[in-house]
């Protein structure tokens, strides 16, 4: 039977590549983005998150087979904190009742190798507590501070989302309902989001110093799409809470064999 997928961030980058791949393989994909997709909503707002769920319910006739929470920003802004963590969690939790109607439901979040980068303790704690008001207030402080402070927003949001997947996946809501939930953590992927970081030789050299990728270097979003397609396919019935780095080795270089 044809599978129905929901992909946020579907208008560009990894989300777009994944939508195109799944459609080419015969799946039905409901895309969501702030503009230019099937469902156009702003995931920084409660209203946008609620509209996502109601529109997906309407367009899918109440049953979906997979959710891919791809939408994310990398700018040093409050919006990044809102979308990357609270928008992603709202996507996964809000669509879970529709997933539960599937015979082979799957959920995947896109985090980042930046989850290994420095973070802000107060922001991270607010994310993990699910306290959006406190998180956005702290993000606003960081955004108003030095560039280094602003840059902590992205890594903190991605670490929090990775850890949300770890904590939630084995619970009654997910594993107990036979829904695998996992994450992919990309290294540097050549998308509109990273274009400013990879646009010049100098920028690329600086970035490669922060994100060592000895295996095949920077790469295109199609490779992430293929991993997302596998994780959200019927073939994956037993991965639970895995955060898979698709990063050319930056995780292995940075953490070595302290983590396995």
CA–CA distance, 12 with 238 (Å, rounded to integer): 30
CA–CA distance, 219 with 213 (Å, rounded to integer): 10
Q: Which of 66/169 has CB closer to a copy of itself? A: 169
Those residues with Cβ within 8 angstroms of residue 21's Cβ, 6 or more apart along the chain or in another chain: 222, 225, 226, 229
CA–CA distance, 129 with 108 (Å, rounded to integer): 21
Is position 5 annotated as part of the catalytic site? no
Position among 62, 118, 170, 192 found at the interface with a copy of itself (CB under 8 A): 170
CA–CA distance, 146 with 156 (Å, rounded to integer): 16
**Residue entry with tokens 């702290």:** 138
Query: Shortest gap between Cβ of 56 and a copy of itself (angstroms)?
Result: 24
Q: Is 24 in the site for a copy of itself (CB under 8 A)?
A: no
How many contiguous H segments (helices) and E segments (strands) does the chain have?
Answer: 11, 7
Q: Is 70 in the site for a copy of itself (CB under 8 A)?
A: no
Segment contacting a copy of itself (CB under 8 A): 71-79, 84-92, 160-168, 196-204? Answer: 160-168
Local structure of 144: helix, strand or coil: coil
Query: Which of 154, 174, 219, 245 is flagged as catalytic?
Result: 154
Q: 225 to 254, contacts with a copy of itself by CB under 8 A?
A: 226-227, 230, 235-249, 251-253
Q: Give how many residues touch a copy of itself by CB under 8 A.
A: 53
Q: 90 to 119, contacts with a copy of itself by CB under 8 A?
A: 111, 115
Q: Is 202 in the site for a copy of itself (CB under 8 A)?
A: no
Instruction: Note whether 113 and 73 are within 8 A (CB).
Output: no
Query: Shortest gap between Cβ of 230 and a copy of itself (angstroms)?
Result: 5
Pairing of the two strands 181-186 and 243-246: parallel
Calculate the alpha carbon distances from 173 to 60, 139, 198 in Å: 21, 29, 40
Position among 162, 191, 194, 232 found at the interface with a copy of itself (CB under 8 A): 162
Q: Is 13 in the site for a copy of itself (CB under 8 A)?
A: no
Kindly list the catalytic residues: 154
Q: Please report, as ranges, the residues that interact with a copy of itself according to CB under 8 A.
A: 111, 115, 159, 162-167, 169-171, 174-176, 178, 180, 183, 185, 187, 212-216, 219, 223, 226-227, 230, 235-249, 251-253, 255-257, 259-260
């Amino acid at each position: 039977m044809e599978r129905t997928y929901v992909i946020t961030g579907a208008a560009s980058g990894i989300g777009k590549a994944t939508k195109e791949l799944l459609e080419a393989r015969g799946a039905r994909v409901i895309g969501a983005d702030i503009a230019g997709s099937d469902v156009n909503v702003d995931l920084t707002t409660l209203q946008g998150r609620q509209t996502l769920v109601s529109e997906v319910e309407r367009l899918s006739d109440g049953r979906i087979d997979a959710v891919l929470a791809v939408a994310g920003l990398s700018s040093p802004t409050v919006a990044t904190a809102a979308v990357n963590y609270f928008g992603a969690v709202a996507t996964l939790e809000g669509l879970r009742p529709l997933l539960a109607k599937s015979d082979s439901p799957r959920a995947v979040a896109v985090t980042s190798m930046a989850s290994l980068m420095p973070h802000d303790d107060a922001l991270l704690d607010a994310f993990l507590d699910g306290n959006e008001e406190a998180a956005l207030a702290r993000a606003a402080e960081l955004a108003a501070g030095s560039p280094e402070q602003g840059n902590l927003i992205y890594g903190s949001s991605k670490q929090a989302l990775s850890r949300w997947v770890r904590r939630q996946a084995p619970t009654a809501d997910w594993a107990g309902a036979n829904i695998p939930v996992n994450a992919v953590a990309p290294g540097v992927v050549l998308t509109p989001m990273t274009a400013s970081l990879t646009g010049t030789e100098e920028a690329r050299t600086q970035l490669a110093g922060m994100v060592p990728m000895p295996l095949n270097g920077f790469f295109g979003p199609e490779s992430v799409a293929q991993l997302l397609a596998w994780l959200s396919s019927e073939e994956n019935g037993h991965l639970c809470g895995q955060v898979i780095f698709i990063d050319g080795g930056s995780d292995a270089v940075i953490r070595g064999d302290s983590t396995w």
